[in-house]
Chains A and B, each alone.
Chain A
Amino acid sequence: GAVVSQHPSWVICKSGTSVKIECRSLDFQATTMFWYRQFPKQSLMLMATSNEGSKATYEQGVEKDKFLINHASLTLSTLTVTSAHPEDSSFYICSARGLDRPNQPQHFGDGTRLSIL
């Protein structure tokens, strides 16, 4: 089945550090990738939709200067949390969708647990 790889799995860093998270589709071309944030026992909140070769579309309330998204190729999207602070600590999950849409699910990466000290 389709595989999405997300790296790193865990990040612990000091306040003020910028953190980059990678999301790769390993065996299919992902025209669209999505970035979600999930707090404990809560739902997956869509942060932004990333299309290859174009600017990401951010959801209302998500700071685009804080969460930089780059979708450089059909298999790679990155999320950079700039100048991270403790309130940015969360579980970040990416997902990817293939070229043939109607019956294609989103395939999720394993997530990145970000802890800012």
Chain B
Amino acid sequence: QQPVQSPQAVILREGEDAVINCSSSKALYSVHWYRQKHGEAPVFLMILLKGGEQKGHEKISASFNEKKQQSSLYLTASQLSYSGTYFCGTEGENRDDKIIFGKGTRLHILP
């Protein structure tokens, strides 16, 4: 089942913060976050594994609540380069190697 992302789109001014959520109806082994710019391939941001991890990458961090099967991506003090579409991908507990992506969240940063 495809994970559900929210919001669908966000417009921010440079320096503002954003949170993107990803939830699944099935038990998860891992959550993957990617950013895709128009016309380009997705770029890997981070993986969170079962165990309730929280990871950080510069001003971008994420958490994974395995009890709720939810993950959130936090963008702090956003920069213009953060614009793009963010996808979460989920891998089920059966670890069949498949990653199913959500519909994406479009983020637009204004100067």
A-to-B contact residues, CB < 8 Å? 6, 32, 34, 36, 42-46, 49, 93, 97, 101-111
B2: chain A residues at CB < 8 Å are 43
Q: Would A97 and B97 be within 8 Å (CB), given that A106-B44, A107-B44 are in contact?
A: yes
- Contacting B42 at CB < 8 Å: which of A6, A44, A101? A44
Which of A32, A46, A93, A105 touches B100 (beta carbons < 8 Å)? A46
- Across the interface, do A110 and B40 meet the contact criterion of CB distance under 8 Å? yes
**B: number of interface residues (CB 8 Å):** 24
Contact between B44 and A34 (Cβ–Cβ < 8 Å)? no
The interface residues of chain A lying within 8 Å CB-to-CB of B104 are 42-43
A sample of 20 cross-chain residue pairs with beta-carbon separation below 8 angstroms, ordered by A number, consists of A6-B41, A43-B87, A43-B101, A43-B102, A43-B104, A44-B42, A44-B101, A45-B101, A46-B100, A46-B101, A93-B41, A93-B42, A103-B49, A104-B47, A105-B47, A106-B89, A107-B44, A108-B34, A108-B42, A111-B40
Residue of A nearest to B41 (CB): A108
How far in angstroms is the closest Cβ of chain A from B42?
A: 5
A108 vs B100: C-alpha distance when bound (angstroms): 14
